[in-house]
């Protein structure tokens, strides 16, 4: 019954397949400026420190308008989160910063964040970057560095030192937007 399997014989065809794949793989760095990972030039594409501060402000405003995300942030110290986000983004992009905030798993594991919420946040970030006219290729270089965090936030294994679960729903009390104030 075991079927006799024939390997592809046509090496010419294999070549035909390999060539366009290779061409595309080689062409794409040309289109995207050749680099991946952090670099001072990428940091400048995001407008340096003023650019990042404006981006994160706009990003947080977008999240507060997003019904999937608002419950997570309505009661949080948004001014503090924004400050940490700016230094984290700055460090990731290759700017002169060091991120000194909480470990990502520690910060997020207790919130029961799902894929949907994570993706909603990514989309808010993309829209905020669009509004700041950051080129799509640079956005993707940045998002490629953020993407692996998903496993620390969505359905994570219990972190080594878990903070206790929330006893209060994060949206139980709506803090007026004006209360935490601008940083």
Annotated binding site: 108
Of residues 117, 116, 133, the one with CA closest to residue 55: 133
Q: Does 88 bind ligand HEM (CB under 6 A)?
A: yes
Q: Please give the C-alpha separations between residue 169 and each of 106, 117, 174, in angstroms, as whole numbers.
A: 18, 16, 11
Q: How many residues does the chain have?
A: 183
What is the rounded distance in angstroms from the CA atom of residue 53 to the CA atom of residue 99? 15
Largest CA distance in the chain: 73
Site for ligand HEM in 143-172 (CB under 6 A): 146, 149, 153
Residue with tokens 């402000």: 57
Q: Which does 102 bind (CB under 5 to 8 A by kind): ligand HEM, another protein, none?
A: ligand HEM
Q: Does 10 bind another protein (CB under 8 A)?
A: yes
Rg (C-alpha) for the chain, rounded Å, is 21
Number of residues that bind ligand HEM (CB under 6 A): 21
Binding site members for heme: 108
Which position among 98, 133, 160, 167 is part of the footprint of another protein (CB under 8 A)? 167
Q: Please give the C-alpha separations between residue 84 and each of 15, 69, 138, 150, in angstroms, as whole numbers.
A: 49, 18, 21, 18
Residue 183 in tokens: 């940083």
What is the rounded distance in angstroms from the CA atom of residue 106 to the CA atom of residue 158? 9
Nearer to ligand HEM (CB atom), residue 54 or residue 64: 64
Q: Does 126 bind another protein (CB under 8 A)?
A: yes
Of residues 153, 148, 151, 56, the one with CA closest to residue 95: 56
Q: Does 14 bind another protein (CB under 8 A)?
A: yes
Question: Site residues (CB under 8 A) for another protein?
Answer: 3-8, 10, 13-14, 16-17, 20-21, 24-25, 27-29, 31-32, 36-37, 68, 71-72, 75-77, 109-117, 119-120, 122-123, 126, 136-137, 140-141, 143-145, 147-148, 150-151, 154-156, 158, 162-171, 173, 175
Q: Which residues bind ligand HEM (CB under 6 A)?
A: 69, 72-73, 76, 80-81, 84-85, 88, 101-102, 107-108, 111, 113, 117-118, 121, 146, 149, 153
């Amino acid at each position: 019954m075991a079927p006799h399997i024939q390997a592809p014989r046509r090496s010419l065809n294999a070549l035909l397949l390999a060539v366009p794949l290779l061409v595309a793989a080689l062409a794409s760095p040309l289109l995207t400026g050749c680099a991946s990972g952090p670099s001072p030039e990428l940091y400048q594409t995001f407008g340096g420190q003023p650019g990042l501060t404006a981006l994160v402000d706009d990003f947080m405003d977008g999240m507060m308008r997003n019904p999937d995300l608002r419950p997570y942030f309505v009661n949080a110290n948004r001014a503090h989160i924004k400050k940490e986000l700016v230094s984290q983004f700055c460090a990731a992009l290759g700017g002169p910063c060091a991120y000194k905030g909480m470990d990502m798993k520690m910060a997020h594991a207790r919130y029961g964040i799902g894929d949907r919420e994570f993706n909603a946040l990514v989309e808010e970030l993309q829209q905020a970057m669009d509004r700041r006219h950051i080129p799509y290729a640079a956005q993707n270089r940045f998002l490629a560095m953020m993407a692996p965090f998903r496993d620390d936030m969505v359905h994570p294994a219990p972190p080594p030192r878990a903070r206790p679960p929330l006893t209060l729903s994060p949206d139980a009390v709506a803090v007026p937007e004006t209360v935490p104030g601008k940083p």
